[in-house]
Chains A and B, each alone.
Chain A
Amino acid sequence: MPPLTEEETKVVFEKLANYIGRNITFLIDNKEDPHVFRLQKDRVYYVSEKIAKFATSVSRQNLMSLGVCFGKFTKTGNFRLHITALSYLAQYAKYKVWIKQNGEMPFLYGNHVLKAHIGKMSDDIPEHAGVVVYSMHDIPLGFGVSAKSTTEARGLQPNSIVAFRQSDVGEYLREEDTLFS
């Protein structure tokens, strides 16, 4: 269960920076409870250093998961964020989109975010930036990439896409077989 190599760290951080920008420093500089990234098989886990130390006593093939899984490396070396990273992404998100109640279920079934469903959104979202999607009660529901900047989105048709879905909490049910092992 090694820490990430420099190359891997770069790939992961680039991806994370899309969603949380400079807030990434909060992830790595936590003075009272330092956290670390760990690679187990092809998955990246973000976990308290103490727990990572305890996990060293578990052999590699028996260790299924520790802390929070952020995502996995694809075979081509890209990094893909998983829905399991949402709690951290939501905590430090830079750009946010809130969707109305009538848009919750369509989004949770894997659809993109439509203009008609937008309740509110951050003012300064540029085009193709990572956004975290919340319900109107501030419950994080998933994340994606903005299709249009905030200003452009204002003039869109109700049925046009504002944000492309990348991951949503519905995957806990839909993808349970593939997501966690």
Chain B
Amino acid sequence: MPPSFEEMEARKEKKDNKRKRSASVSEKPAKKAYEPKGKKGKKQAPVVSDEEEMPADLPEVDLEELASAKKALFDDSEEEEEGDEFYDSDEEGREKPIWSDDEDIETLNVANMEALSRKLDEEEELEAEEAEEELVEGAVQPKAIVLPTAEEEEAMEGHPQDVTMTRTRMMEITKVLEDFKTLAEDGKSRTEYVNRLIKDICSYFGYTPFLAEKLFNLFSPSEAMEFFEANEISRPTTIRTNTLHSRRRDLAQTLVNRGVNLQPIGTWTKVGLQIFDSQVPVGATPEYLAGHYILQAASSFLPVMALQPQENERILDMAAAPGGKTTYISAMMKNTGCVFANDANKARTKSLIANIHRLGCRNTIVCNYDAREFPKVIGGFDRVLLDAPCSGTGVIGKDESVKVSRTEKDFIQIPHLQKQLLLSAIDSVDANSATGGIIVYSTCSVAVEENESVVEYALRKRPNVRLVDTGLAIGKEGFTSYRGKHFSPKLSLTRRYYPHTYNVDGFYVAKFKKIASSPHDVSKAGAKEKEHAARSEQDDTIINDDFAEFDADQDKELIQQTVNRNMKKRGVNPNARKADKVIKEEEAPKE
């Protein structure tokens, strides 16, 4: 039984009872308790029973009054038969006029005045009592109803569940968890509620229990529900104006003429437009093909905005495909300087190259390395953007498969890769850059393992970087502690984005500034090459391969001298026993 339905039923029954009691002025409460639930049956029942037991139990009540009461009840029931059967919210209201207006005035006389007034008093008292009871019960109700019993739970196993029921229960549990002290059922622990809620989330939204729990733990219960719900709807389509070819106002005008309904995304970006609906495919208009804009999620603007590329810098985008961020960097630099766009996946570099050319970026170099190789390939960048590959828990609205495909293993392997990448990114930056020395780390995940933990790790491993403010207008602060883990307080400078708060994909942005160079920065391949060159050029320097060769004969003489000296010190004449000591002395220095 769903709690909500039970609740409803219970309330209805109570009301019915109440009405009956007030109708017959509490003459036979025992009988009432056994009355059937159905409205029709219930309503006819009192009539019969009243007639039977009237003489015994009802001395004080006016017969006429009772008759009219019966009639009223009948009328009432007839009326209800006609009306909506499930109507239960204001039945009490309907009874009242029957009592107070009609019969009371009609039958009021000196004889029954006392009885009547007593009846009224009783009635009032009863009502007050019941109201109070209901009030108390109302507060208690969720305690009794929210969690299903063990039997119910067993019954639920293996059955496809009623979604509305599950949903109601999720809401109820969320409510309880929000105010656990007052609303929780006695003897039930918070864990029981949370477990039930996570089970419901799994069945209702289709997550694996592992992922549901992981995501649930990031938020307060009500916020978590908002998050899960926001993941069910997709984010609005957004486009970014390519400032190399067009301006936002011109582009908006052109697209409006093509029948696209759009508006600027927000005050935080000057290049973004949000598409509401369109009569033409937005990804195939002549403007799109001519590179005036690119379809890009609003969240993807953020890391580039945090990176703040300057003209004439050398910038590395470590995981660039499909090129939304790379082209944005290029546009911000107005095609000056140099952008290295790297992607580890060769197939994905196709779309990267296509976008780079379509948007008219002329300052890019596209390469296909594992980004971890990077300070080796080329280092000394002014800025590095690492939009790391991630589990994608922030973009569940876009890619539903994340709900079931991610396992515990992923949350170990992916962060491991991210940590390596971030260290590579840090080492690839030139700390002495006049304008930059900036590293931006971002993921489209909301998991702490892939965000705060990775940043914390980098801060620990590379003391020559520090976190700086991202300079982004929106975003929530990163966690400084999470489930018993404590991170550096500086992590509050990083930014988190959630689908339910900003209607962008779940995202995370951290910005570092490199303040000093470290031994890790040295391009290792380059160093080796330099050493080889040095060896071949100057043979007669200190670097000689014969350093470790020994001349045994020459050494022997020197060793002998030292031994003699030592013997003299001890007061032994070395020449006196030269003959028999020679062998021993030869061994001595070897030790």
Q: Is the CB of B366 within 8 A of A65?
A: yes
A65→B354 CA distance, assembly (Å): 10
Give 24 A-B contacts (CB < 8 Å), ordered by A residue: A50-B338, A51-B338, A51-B365, A54-B365, A58-B367, A59-B377, A62-B367, A62-B369, A63-B367, A67-B364, A87-B360, A87-B362, A104-B286, A108-B286, A135-B286, A135-B290, A139-B290, A169-B289, A169-B291, A169-B358, A172-B358, A173-B284, A181-B346, A181-B349
Q: Is the CB of B358 within 8 A of A48?
A: no
Most buried by A among B283, B287, B357, B369: B357
Q: Is the CB of B357 within 8 A of A84?
A: yes
Q: B291, B353, B378: which contacts A181 (Cβ < 8 A)?
A: B353
A74→B88 CA distance, assembly (Å): 83
Q: Is the CB of B365 within 8 A of A139?
A: no
Q: Is the CB of A65 within 8 A of B356?
A: yes
A133→B284 CA distance, assembly (Å): 18
Chain A residues positioned under 8 Å from B346 (CB to CB): 64, 181
The 6 closest A-B pairs by CB, nearest first: A169-B289, A65-B366, A84-B357, A57-B378, A64-B366, A180-B353
Q: Is the CB of A66 within 8 A of B366?
A: yes
Name the residue on B nearest A168 (C-beta).
B289
A137→B258 CA distance, assembly (Å): 14
A84→B350 CA distance, assembly (Å): 13
A residues 42-71 near B (Cβ < 8 Å) are 47-48, 50-51, 54-55, 57-59, 62-69
Most buried by A among B254, B360, B362, B369: B362
Q: B291, B338, B368: which contacts A62 (Cβ < 8 A)?
A: B368
Chain A residues positioned under 8 Å from B340 (CB to CB): 54
**B residues at A contact (CB < 8 Å):** 254, 283-284, 286-287, 289-292, 314, 338, 340, 346, 349-354, 356-358, 360, 362-369, 377-378
Q: Is the CB of A172 within 8 A of B289?
A: yes
A83→B354 CA distance, assembly (Å): 10
Q: B314, B349, B360, B362: which contacts A48 (Cβ < 8 A)?
A: B362
Name the residue on A nearest B347 (C-beta).
A181
A135→B289 CA distance, assembly (Å): 12
Q: Is the CB of B289 within 8 A of A68?
A: no
Name the residue on B nearest A137 (C-beta).
B254
Q: Is the CB of B254 within 8 A of A69?
A: no
Name the residue on A nearest B369 (C-beta).
A62
Q: Count residues of chain A with CB under 8 A from any CB of chain B.
A: 37
Chain A residues positioned under 8 Å from B353 (CB to CB): 64-65, 69, 180-181
Q: Is the CB of A139 within 8 A of B349?
A: no
Question: With A64-B349, A179-B354, A181-B353 in contact, is A139–B363 under 8 Å at CB?
Answer: no
The verdict on A145 contacting chain B, using a C-beta distance below 8 Å, is no
A178→B314 CA distance, assembly (Å): 30
Q: Is the CB of A172 within 8 A of B286?
A: no
Closest Cβ–Cβ distance, residue A47 to chain B (whole Å): 7
Q: Is the CB of A139 within 8 A of B286?
A: yes
Q: Is the CB of B286 within 8 A of A105?
A: yes
Q: Is the CB of A54 within 8 A of B366?
A: no
Name the residue on B nearest A66 (C-beta).
B365
Closest Cβ–Cβ distance, residue B244 to chain A (whole Å): 9
Question: With A48-B363, A68-B362 in contact, is A141–B286 under 8 Å at CB?
Answer: yes
Closest Cβ–Cβ distance, residue B373 to chain A (whole Å): 9
Q: Is the CB of B290 within 8 A of A169?
A: yes
Q: B287, B358, B377: which contacts A58 (Cβ < 8 A)?
A: B377
Question: With A87-B360, A172-B354 in contact, is A140–B365 under 8 Å at CB?
Answer: no
The verdict on A119 contacting chain B, using a C-beta distance below 8 Å, is no
A67→B289 CA distance, assembly (Å): 19
The verdict on A7 contacting chain B, using a C-beta distance below 8 Å, is no
Name the residue on B nearest A46 (C-beta).
B362
Name the residue on B nearest A172 (C-beta).
B358
Chain A residues positioned under 8 Å from B287 (CB to CB): 139
Question: With A170-B289, A180-B353 in contact, is A64–B367 under 8 Å at CB?
Answer: yes
Name the residue on B nearest A180 (C-beta).
B353
Given A55-B365, A64-B352, 14 new contacts (CB under 8 A): A48-B362, A48-B363, A54-B378, A58-B377, A59-B377, A63-B366, A64-B349, A67-B365, A83-B357, A87-B360, A135-B286, A141-B289, A169-B290, A173-B283
A22→B290 CA distance, assembly (Å): 25
Chain B residues positioned under 8 Å from A65 (CB to CB): 349, 353, 356, 364-366
The verdict on A6 contacting chain B, using a C-beta distance below 8 Å, is no
Q: B286, B314, B357, B368: which contacts A68 (Cβ < 8 A)?
A: B357
